[in-house]
Amino acid sequence: MKFADLHLHTYFSDGTFSPEELAGHGQRLGFAALSLTDHDSVEGCARMAAACGAAGIEFISGTELTAEHNDTELHLLGYFVDTQNQKLLTEMAGFQVVRQNRIREMVAKLNELNMPLKAESVFALANCKSPGRPHVARALVKAGLCKSLDEAFERFLKKNRPAWVPKAKMSALEGVELIHQAGGLAIMAHPGLNRTDDVIPALVDAGLDGIECFHTKHSTATSERYLEIADKFHLLVTGGSDCHGFSKGKPLIGTVKLPYEHVEKLKAKMAERQLTTNERQ
Ligand SMILES: [Zn+2]
Ligand SMILES: [Zn+2]
């Protein structure tokens, strides 16, 4: 049996592995295909593609965007996106600025709570263009202000905790469109985490291509529910570990093994789309 992990993060967003380390873990675990889905970034894709190529692993370019629909936050995975697509790169640069400003706001709130953390130390630790809450948590631990990442999230950073700052998000319909115009497939990430079932029909109308049925935090029953929903709406099925290396506890790569037949279906959809695009031209 061939397997894939289509949801992975590196240090180009809030993971701790380099693309090469991640490809090495993928090889050790026997994966046939991997995708890199850093938040608001495709920066690591070229190195990941090279590392996967050297390891004999098929690589699928990807990214993960944060979006909302009717006040419900959701994450969109974009697979096979053109990593040189100008509009995608421009939009992502904007999202990265939003992320950096959010870090400053969270640090300001922490300072008001007498936690003497500097935004610069978070940026230095993050050392990437897409910093996020896990970086703030790590900086708090590194500065000796919290004992663990869990404590940092529980006391300060989780939604509605005192240093939490809401994130400005694009609309999910725009997100689907952005991924499509960059030549990719738009997939709703971990619907079981965001409780986004109600918004699925609207996104399907907007052209959503699939849903991530298999995820580390989906129970078997949850995966089965989304497989049924995927079937009902004729959606593609994806899955991945959402591994962030050591930034959210233990590395998760290997916990989800997506049967390769789903990768073949993704590729068939891409081929079908290219065919219709060519016919139109
Ligand atoms: Zn996510
Ligand atoms: Zn993710």
Annotate 79-103 with b (16+ C-beta within 10 A) or e (fewer).
bbbebebeebbebbeebbeebbebb
For the CA of 41, the nearest ligand: 2
Q: For residue 154, give the DSSP letter.
A: I
**Angle subtended by helix axes 133-142 and 119-126, to nearest 10:** 110
What are the tens digits of pLDDT across the range 192-209?
998 889 999 999 999 999
Q: How far is the CA of 74 from the centre of ligand 1 (A)?
A: 8
Indicate which ligand has the atom closest to the C-alpha of 13. Answer: 2
Give the amino acid at 53.
Answer: G
User: What distance in angstroms lies between residue 244's CA and the mean position of ligand 2's atoms?
Assistant: 8
Inform me whether the pLDDT recorded for 174 exceeds 90. Answer: yes
Strands 210-215, 236-240: pairing is parallel
Ligand closest in space to the Cα of 73: 1
Q: Give residue 158's pLDDT band: very low, low, confident or very high (50, 70, 90).
A: very high
The mean pLDDT of the chain is 95
Q: How far is the CA of 201 from the centre of ligand 2 (A)?
A: 22
Q: How far is the CA of 277 from the centre of ligand 1 (A)?
A: 30
Q: Give the mean pLDDT of 211-227.
A: 97
- Position 167 confidence tier, pLDDT thresholds 50, 70, 90: confident
Which ligand has an atom closest to residue 252 CA? 2
CA 62 to ligand 1 center in whole angstroms: 13
Q: Which residue has the higher pLDDT, 278 or 231?
A: 231
Q: Which ligand does the CA of 194 lie closest to? A: 1
- Residue range 112-116: mean pLDDT, rounded: 96
Report how far apart, in Å, the C-alpha atoms of 258 and of each of 9, 38, 138, 225, 255 are.
Answer: 17, 19, 30, 16, 10
pLDDT band at 21 (very low <50, low <70, confident <90, very high): very high
Give the distance (Å) from ligand 2 centre to CA of residue 281.
Answer: 36
Sorting pLDDT into bands at 50, 70 and 90, what band is 119? very high
> Helices 86-112 and 172-181 meet at what angle, rounded to 10?
140
| Residue 276, burial from CB neighbour count under 10 angstroms (0-12, 13-18, 19+) | exposed
**What would the pLDDT profile of 246-267 be if each residue is shown by its tens digit?**
987 799 999 999 999 999 999 9
Query: How far away, in angstroms, is 54 Cα from ligand 1 center?
Result: 28
CA of 117 to the centre of ligand 1 (A): 26
> For the chain, what percent of residues have pLDDT higher than 90?
92
Q: Please give the structure tokens belonging to residue 139.
A: 């900086």
What share of the chain has pLDDT > 70, as a percent? 100
Do 176 and 189 form a contact (C-beta atoms < 8 A)?
no
Ligand nearest to the CA of 39: 2
**Pairwise CA distance, residues 133 & 248, whole Å:** 10
- Tell me how far the alpha carbon of residue 66 lies from the centroid of ligand 1, in angstroms: 8
Confidence of residue 134 (pLDDT cuts 50, 70, 90): very high
- 33-43: b (≥16 Cβ within 10 Å) or e: bbbbbbbbbbb
Query: What are the tens digits of pLDDT across the range 69-100?
Result: 988 899 999 999 999 999 999 999 999 999 99
Give the pLDDT of residue 28.
97
| Distance (Å) from CA 114 to ligand 2 centroid | 31
pTM, whole model, 2 decimals? 0.93
Answer whether residue 4 shows pLDDT above 90: yes
Q: Rounded to 5 degrees, what angle do the CA atoms 43, 46, 52 make?
A: 125
According to the model, what pLDDT value does residue 220 have? 97
Which residues are registered as beta bridge partners of 243? 8
pLDDT value at 123 more than 80: yes
pLDDT at 207: 97
Total length of the chain? 281
**Mean pLDDT, residues 102-120:** 96
pLDDT at 238: 98
